[in-house]
Amino acid sequence: MVTIKDVAKHAGVALSTASYALSGSDKVSPKTRELVLQAAKELNYQKNGFAMDLKRKSTKTILLILSDLSGPYYSELIRGTQEVTLSNGFDLIACSSVGGADSTAYKFLQERRVDGAIVLDPNISEHLLRESAREGCPIVVMDRYVEGDFIMNVAADNVQGGYEATRYLMEKGHRDIAWIGGPSNSLGSQHRKEGYLKALQEEGIVNTKWMLVGNFTEEGGYHSTKVLLMQEEHPTAIFYGNDEMAIGGYKALREFGLSVPEDVSIVGFDDIQVAEYLSPPLTTVRQPKYEMGTMAAHLVFQAMGGEYVNKSYKLKIELIERLSCQPPRLAPNRGKGMET
Amino acid sequence: MVTIKDVAKHAGVALSTASYALSGSDKVSPKTRELVLQAAKELNYQKNGFAMDLKRKSTKTILLILSDLSGPYYSELIRGTQEVTLSNGFDLIACSSVGGADSTAYKFLQERRVDGAIVLDPNISEHLLRESAREGCPIVVMDRYVEGDFIMNVAADNVQGGYEATRYLMEKGHRDIAWIGGPSNSLGSQHRKEGYLKALQEEGIVNTKWMLVGNFTEEGGYHSTKVLLMQEEHPTAIFYGNDEMAIGGYKALREFGLSVPEDVSIVGFDDIQVAEYLSPPLTTVRQPKYEMGTMAAHLVFQAMGGEYVNKSYKLKIELIERLSCQPPRLAPNRGKGMET
DNA sequence: GAAATTTATCGAAACGTTTCGATTTGTTTT
DNA sequence: AAAACAAATCGAAACGTTTCGATAAATTTC
């Protein structure tokens, strides 16, 4: 392997001079710079990034940890973080926590290989986060809440989202609204449910029969919906903890000969790409993913500058109205949002 | 920052002993190991990965370069590479070429920060690839063809895909089949078109009016379809270079009051997630993405072992039949696949 | 044209690890 | 109890850079 030493020798200068020349310092005269560059080219010299980082004590890269590196959910978010990172002259690399303690995420976090991290991954333990966050490596955690030095939090206002979606259904006249949530370890899902319950409570509605959990997958939504429909009484609307589950719901409903929105209204959560192409297009709650991404990245850089303005941020959420909801057909007497 | 030196001092042993203890070597006695581990914990010691890599002269990570880190296209492919990488005890990180020569991709490739790379990104120059590939860092390039030492290629058999899709339409009785391709720098698109032309030629069909280019986006498909429909004669079927463009096509057709598949049949390419949820569900050509991912990763490891069995691999492709095609309504006399 | 100043180059230390060979300690053999 | 051996620990070199302080060369000043 050709090193800077070889380049220096080949160019007939000292190692240190070669280093200066290669890094474009103006301490070196134009003609020696040329000489060195030429030598480097001839030998096909490629610098060793580690050695550099080791000496410089900073890596200029920030790490994005995702739960599986492949979900459709992340697109916009990644785009956001990437833009900010790049414009700060830093690099962004992504990895996943697949593999548990042997995962790339663990290694990079524990081995001080990055100058900051953005974590969107429920699998990374709080312990690891607290252990890894430090001066020189701030961490922003998304969609969950973890407290600690050099740790900040960014999340969508899931409570608000859950509340508004439910409210929206109620204003269309629904009172029998089912909830099919995500896995219980998802803080986001919990909060959405919280908003849902709050809306219900305001109207004095008590729902005990129609609260199920899926696991945020299409499969899960499908099955949960099926058990829901096998009960004797049906709700007139279903609120799903995310869009994937709503897709599963569509399928289950179709199998039961029920149509959306005539027989049951549906609202999802997330606004993934598919949502608008479903038939009927899915009314859902959009998370400001791009904004969350940029926000997270900005926070990292702010923290690097020593500013820890605030530890926790909540971003507003937006209801996207499409065609999967309408007033319930069997309760015309309940009016259209007049009961408030 | 606490280093192994501090740990050694705190534990009252030599630096080298501390190193042995921390890396679990059996050269060290159980009780000193305990001692060192204890000291490390007390000081919250975290090893510096770079220093290690520098000494070890290998990084045990492989890099996945994508054009934007966020396309829905990649999901399965990433999953494939990830599984193989992980089971080889290596790490996988992903990055994009956004930012050109300042991009993370360039930096990591040029600075010998990884032991291998998988590139699915038309923006990375062949020059850079050839320069970066070397003993100790093989590179697998996907969906394009680049020749060079330590470089291998993996692609779907796009010619076959284009051929089969067209053949399928012809067997339904179509003869007037339009092609809306991707950007001209996409080798995949070129190959698909090649297959398309070959199928046409076999039947002695010459199509000159209905060949357009989009840019692989929904927007592009929409516009190309519109200009296609503004001509006086319409084709009875359209074959799109990818699914995104087909989605744009659906929209344009709807605007022209034409319905799929009654008025015009459509087939796409890729089988992205949305495809099956469109109405009507899109008939398309599925690329074996997961297999491509695993294949690429396997090749990297094989190459690390010094085996360069073969430089180029083509994977078979599969037609996914859904509901966007039917025989053309205005040419019942042309039969149903009888003309072969 | 010698002294003072600037500019260009050099040597060496440092970054935090791993690992080789040497030394010390402890255990077994005679 | 000394000799022979194994086990545990240590010191130092090495990995490939960057960068500080020192030296040498070139330029300016008087």
Whose CA is closest to A115, among A96, A140, A143, A98?
Answer: A140
Residue B152, H or E segment? strand B151-156
Q: Which nucleotide is nearest to B57 (CA to C1')?
A: D15
Average of pLDDT values for A209-229?
A: 94
Q: CA-CA distance, A257 to A277, in Å (whole number)?
A: 21
Give phi and psi for B89, each to the nearest 5: 75, 20
Give dist(CA A275, CA A269) in Å, integer: 10
Taking residues A69-92, what's their average pLDDT? Answer: 86
Q: Taking a C-beta distance cutoff of 8 angstroms, is the pair B52, B22 a contact?
A: no
CA distance A131 to A147: 12
Eight-class DSSP state of B276: G
**Range name among A66-70, A223-227, B145-149 with the lowest pLDDT average:** A66-70
Distance from CA of A243 to the nearest CA of B (A): 13
Say how many C-beta atoms besides its own lie within 10 A of residue A182's C-beta.
Answer: 25
pLDDT band at A308 (very low <50, low <70, confident <90, very high): confident
What is d(CA B319, CA B340) in angstroms, rounded to the nearest whole number? 19
Q: Which residues in chain A are contacts of B72 at CB distance < 8 A?
A: 72, 75, 273
Mean pLDDT (whole number) for B125-129:
95
**What is the DSSP pairing of strand B312-315 with strand B151-156?**
parallel
C-alpha span between A201 and A204 (Å, rounded): 5
Number of H helices, E strands in chain B: 12, 12
Q: Which nucleotide is nearest to A56 (CA to C1')?
A: D18
Write out the two tokens for A238: 């279903």
Q: Is B248 helix (H, G, I), strand (E, B) or coil?
A: helix
What are the tens digits of pLDDT across the range A96-142? 999 888 899 999 999 999 999 999 998 899 999 999 999 889 999 99
Average predicted confidence (pLDDT) for chain A: 92
H helical segments located in chain A: 4-11, 15-22, 30-43, 49-56, 75-87, 104-110, 126-132, 158-171, 187-202, 218-229, 243-255, 289-304
Give B290-339 pLDDT, tens digit per residue: 999 999 999 999 999 887 777 899 999 999 999 999 999 864 444 343 33
Please name the member of B44, B68, B279 whose beta carbon is closest to the beta carbon of A279: B279
Q: What is the pLDDT of residues A264-306, one digit of tens each?
A: 999 999 998 889 999 899 999 999 999 999 999 999 999 998 8
Position B209 pLDDT exceeds 80:
yes
Number of alpha helices (DSSP H) and beta strands (DSSP E) in chain A: 12, 12
Give the C-alpha separation, B133 to B56, whole Å.
20
* Cβ A141 vs Cβ A152: under 8 Å: yes
Cα separation, B134 vs B110, whole angstroms? 11
| Percent of chain B residues topping a pLDDT of 70 | 96
* A16 CB contact with strand C at below 7 Å: yes
- Angle in degrees, CA A325, A330, A335, rounded to 5: 70
Residue B68 pLDDT grade (very low, low, confident, very high; cuts 50, 70, 90):
confident
Residue for token pair 């003869």: B175
Of B1, B69, B79, the CB nearest to A78: B69
Mean pLDDT confidence for B91-119: 94
Are B77 and B293 spatial neighbours (Cβ–Cβ below 8 Å)?
A: yes
Whether A67 contacts A121, CB under 8 Å: yes
Task: Output the pLDDT for position B70.
Answer: 65
Q: Is the CB of A86 under 7 A from strand C?
A: no
Which residue reads 């430089």 in tokens? Answer: B311
- Say which of B99, B113, B273 has its CB closest to residue A86: B99
Phi, psi of B220, deg, nearest 5: -60, -40
Burial class (CB in 10 A: 0-12, 13-18, 19+), A267: buried
pLDDT at A330: 62
Residue B75 pLDDT level (bands cut at 50, 70, 90): confident
pLDDT at A339 over 80: no
Burial B236-263 (b: 16+ CB within 10 A, else e): bbbbbbbbbbbbbbbebbeeeeeebbee
User: Which residue lies nearest D10, CA-to-C1' measured?
Assistant: B14
B232 sits in which H/E element: none
Q: Is the CB of A3 under 7 A from strand D?
A: yes
- Whether residue B2 is predicted with pLDDT greater than 70 in this model: the reply is yes
**What are B17-32's pLDDT values in tens digits?**
999 999 998 999 999 9
Q: Which domains does chain B have, with CATH numbers?
A: 4-47 (1.10.260.40), 58-156+289-315 (3.40.50.2300), 158-287+319-334 (3.40.50.2300)
Q: For strand A283-286 and strand A318-320, is the pairing parallel, antiparallel, or unpaired?
A: antiparallel
pLDDT at A71: 63
Interatomic CA distance for residues A127 and A123, integer angstroms = 11
Residue A267 tokens, joined: 């609202």
Q: How far apart are CA B74 and CA B83, in angstroms?
A: 14
Q: Kindly determine whether the C-beta of residue A51 is less than 7 Å away from any atom of nucleic acid strand D.
A: yes
